[in-house]
Amino acid sequence: MGIQPERISMLNRNAIKKGAWVLYWMQQSQRAQDNPALEFAIVQANRLDLPVLVAFALTDGYPEANLRHYRFMLEGLVETQRQLADRGIGMVVQKGDPVTVIGPLTGRCAMLVCDVGYTRHQRAWRQALSRTAPCRSVAVEGDAVVPVGVVSPKAEYAARTLRPKIHSHLKPFLVPCPCYRPKHSSLEIVPQGLDLGAIDTILDGLDIDRSVPAVTQFFRGGPVEAKKRVRRFITSHLHRYAVHRNQPQTGDTSHMSPYLHFGQISPVFLALQIDHASQGSPADRAAYLEELIVRRELALNFVFYTPDYDSYGCLPAWAQKTLAVHGADRRETLYDRQTLEGAKTHDPYWNAAMAEMRHTGFMHSYMRMYWGKKLIEWSSTPQEAYATALALNNRYFLDGRDPNSFAGVGWVFGLHDRAWFERDIFGKVRYMAASGLERKCDIRAYADKVAALSRT
């Protein structure tokens, strides 16, 4: 079976031209396996009797990215370049924005292939390149199980409205990605680029925020590490997932979100591994697939169809209205950004969550909800709370600046949720309390676990 036609979209109407290579501009799907854009490029190159060249633009102006994000990404690119070379495919990484780096390479290519990104700047890059490329430009979607446009033509209200649409299309897309053999090697024609064997040297040459340290003791980037974690999760944790997925004191989570964010693992590959696993119950597998497919693709849907996905104005009208009605309600405690970032509030559970985020680049999803809700309570306005939540999220999480980040922060303020009982400050937006954590999980054990991690 080839690449599903629904994953493929034309970015311009230019002709396929004579050239030295088919160029795959890798950006979102940073992997050499289970990558529909790469495999499509190989098919086209073989048809044209040409090699495939892969190019990656390393831009130090990437929005809100810092040292933590860049190191994780570069660790993955090292593996990806090596795995491509094993298939006879050359990969060049050059410093600069995509238009500056990829543009000149299109002058010698017969066809430009790219993967699909959902955020504003990713889409702008693709539009700019497709306008200037002298050859045909094609995008191939490989980081959604079901392509966003296939599922729905509009922003969905909630998971319950998206779920049946996802499942009605799921079967033909939940299949392994084909793997094709290139007819011609491109290893001898790779233009000069950065030496990925010298990550520290590359990082030293980037103009980036260095105030947030890397977290290599907790997370190493790369497709190899991602698949190791998948196997470990299936073997040791999947059988408890349905019961423990909201238990932050346990380690029964896959930690896949950073790898999905950087495209270092395919969501289709991951879904198939879970779906076919002999470990765990049907309930365990269904719970995980709900998060991976329905909830994650609800976030993709939101960002794709909501131009202001990163502003307070993207929230539902009912949520903005009820928060405005209670905007002048008395707050017993207010914290500034510095206090919050330092995890120095009066709430030990919130402090533990903030410490986990700062120290490891990760936070259990259940604690992410509580962490965000408290910011509404401790900020002078809901607009301030929203800005703080998004800024801290994008700064410290390895999977920050992702559609899941924007949708997750939005959920804290009512996005993809319904109105609840009215109360001070929150109005009808869902509330979470420390007492709820104490009833539903062993929150003190979670705080102890984070304290131990922080000493690592």
| Domains observed in the chain | 312-454 (1.10.579.10)
Q: Quote the pLDDT of residue 441.
A: 97
Question: 120: alpha, beta or left, given left = phi > 0 and alpha = psi -120 to 50?
Answer: alpha
Q: Quote the pLDDT of residue 102.
A: 97
Q: How many CA atoms lie within 13 A of 149 on its CB side?
A: 11
Total Cβ atoms within 10 A of residue 77: 24
Q: Output the six-digit token pair for 389.
A: 């939540």
Q: Quote the pLDDT of residue 1.
A: 66
DSSP readout, 410-438? HHHTTTT------BTTTBTS----HHHHH
pTM > 0.95: yes or no:
yes
The number of residues making up the chain comes to 456
Q: Quote the pLDDT of residue 62.
A: 87
Q: What is the pLDDT along the chain (456 residues), one digit of tens a residue?
A: 689 999 999 999 999 999 999 999 999 999 999 999 999 999 999 999 999 999 999 999 888 999 999 999 999 999 999 999 999 999 999 999 999 999 999 999 999 999 999 999 999 999 999 999 999 999 999 999 999 999 999 999 999 999 999 999 999 999 999 999 999 999 999 999 999 999 999 999 999 999 999 999 999 999 999 999 999 999 999 999 999 999 999 999 999 999 999 999 999 999 999 999 999 999 999 999 999 999 999 999 999 999 999 999 999 999 999 999 999 999 999 999 999 999 999 999 999 999 999 999 999 999 999 999 999 999 999 999 999 999 999 999 999 999 999 999 999 999 999 999 999 999 999 999 999 999 999 999 999 999 999 887
Q: SS3 of 97, please?
A: coil
Q: Quote the pLDDT of residue 107.
A: 94
